[in-house]
Amino acid sequence: MSCAEWEDLIEKELDGALPPGDAERLAAHLNACTECRADLADGREVIGLLHSLPAPEVPSEAWPSVREALARTQQRKRSLRRAVLAAAAVLLVGIPAGIVALHQVEDRAPGLDLTVVDLRNGVSAEEWAEYVSDFNEGWGVPFVPAPVVDGPREEDE
């Protein structure tokens, strides 16, 4: 058995999960192999160091800053909700008129590129997905968003 094959037993020993029969075999090998002995000793040392790491103390200002962050998030959510409602209202009122207007515009400028106002501006994909879910639950109106691509937006680059 090569040293690489003993490594599995060394790992089990480090993890405190080495069966007694294997423990005897490993002990016999360790007596004869300095390399595996060093692996076990270094493994024990590094694990011991991790166990002794002191727990960091949570500073007293942490809770107020979390509370402020929550308030900011909720404010942003309210703004987003207002924006979606405004957009929905514009669509409801504007679609019939818009169809007529578009027809007229396209007659004059065929192939005109129409841009939709992007409500996701500055909102992460995750926040947007959660917002959509909240909106559907809160208003009982299915609101199917365009697919969201996570990552830097064109204007960020």
Q: Which amino acid is at 3?
A: C
In the complex, minimum distance from the CB of residue 48 to another protein, in angstroms, rounded to a whole number: 9
Site for another protein in 53-112 (CB under 8 A): 53-59, 62-63, 65-67, 69-70, 73
In the complex, minimum distance from the CB of residue 82 to another protein, in angstroms, rounded to a whole number: 19
Under rule CB under 8 A, residue 39 binds another protein: yes
Site for another protein in 115-144 (CB under 8 A): 130
Interacting stretch for another protein, rule CB under 8 A, among 3-11, 25-33, 105-113, 145-153? 3-11
Burial 66-95 (b: 16+ CB within 10 A, else e): eeeeeeeeeeebeebeeebeeeeeeeeeee
What's the sign of the alpha-carbon dihedral 66, 68, 74, 77?
Answer: negative
Under rule CB under 8 A, residue 11 binds another protein: yes
Check: CB of residue 77 under 8 Å from CB of residue 122: no
